[in-house]
Amino acid sequence: MTEVRVAGVGLTRFGSHPERTGRDLFAEAADRAFADAGVDRNAVEELNYGNFMGALAEHQGHQAPLMAEAAGVRCPATRYESACASAGVAVREAVRTVAAGDADVVVAGGMERMTNLDTEGATEGLAIAADDLFEVRAGVTFPGAYALMARAYFEAHGGSREDLAHVASKNHENALPNEYAQFRTEVSVEEALDSPPIAEPLHLYDACPITDGASALVLVSEEYAAENDVDAPVAVTGTGQGTDRMALADRTDLAATPAAVDAATAAYDDAGIGPADVDLAEVHDCFTIAEVLAIESLGLAEPGEGIAAARDGHTTADGDLPVNLSGGLKAKGHPVGATGGSQIAEVTRLLRGDHPNSEHVPDAEVGVAHNAGGTVASAVVHVLEVAE
């Protein structure tokens, strides 16, 4: 097994790009990743691409060869789909390929274009990540599903809408200096509390936005980096994936996400670390309650204690364990198929010291990226470390 290094990362600005195509967005992210890596495109041996709803949003299936062309590479290309965890799965398979010695250079990432759909179309497109037979046909949407999870959490552990408002406010503040973020605006706890309800107890500022964007990573083996003088100071040392029952009604506990627990356990074991070693995390906060569930699943907070983490300053930028210094999905945005790659790009920049929020974590050596699909029926966790 060889160590997998992140040679380069590339992102588009997240937001609304009505004048652009998906392949154009991915090309931009790939261009930035190659420029960051200093790796020749001809060296790329595989491309792993995440996308969830391109067949609906752009009427385009079979996207992998299109994205290889857009990225300027000629190699085997594969599209990965795991709802909101699509790019996370794409990156995981790239990491496993390089670690096994089957390739020295792999590009991984993803893209989603969503704002060209109206609200009804985007809602319908996202809903197919739930169980169609037992949830979608009954009218369940993701705000409603996560509201059920929030209610279950409050019943099991306590908590309030104000606790969730602290999560929203924290992540909006973190997004302010991030040039790639969709919403670079402050949102106070009071504003979050006063926003209109979407599915009680969740209100407008508890939810992430509809977003267009792309992410790309150039992953290389440690040997390739050394032989080609590639500056790649961050390594992906652990990866894990988990799965849960699709429908909420089939789960035993709506206040926990066992798929993420399984993914985190596998990633920590792979890296040879534990939760206590983590210095920062980027987690899948599609709704504010999702961040609470994520940090508990990662072992960064005990069950029932994650709800107060933002309010108590534990996970703020200047806290002892900053979470979502990028702004998270909540404020940076959530282009579904690109998010998992974006999270790893942000952790990489934070650990390298070239992220606008790196000043908050100057001594960080270990970061975790947590990417979830649907109501966490799928989860992927990666551990990144500053290489020795």
Rounded Cα gap, residues 375 and 290, in angstroms: 9
Catalytic status, residue 59:
no
Query: For strand 280-282 and strand 366-373, is the pairing parallel, antiparallel, or unpaired?
Result: parallel
DSSP conformation class of 48: E
Beta-sheet strands, E only, within the chain = 4-11, 46-50, 77-80, 105-112, 197-199, 202-203, 213-221, 234-243, 280-282, 366-373, 378-386
Of 284, 334, 355, 382, which is the active-site residue? 334
Tell me which residue has tokens 């290489």: 387
Relative orientation angle of helices 142-157 and 288-297, to the nearest 10 degrees: 60
Of 17, 84, 172, 284, which is the active-site residue? 84
Catalytic status, residue 334:
yes
Relative orientation angle of helices 288-297 and 258-271, to the nearest 10 degrees: 50
Question: Nearest CA to 295 among 201, 308, 26?
Answer: 308
Relative orientation angle of helices 288-297 and 161-175, to the nearest 10 degrees: 90
Hey, which residues are catalytic here?
A: 84, 334
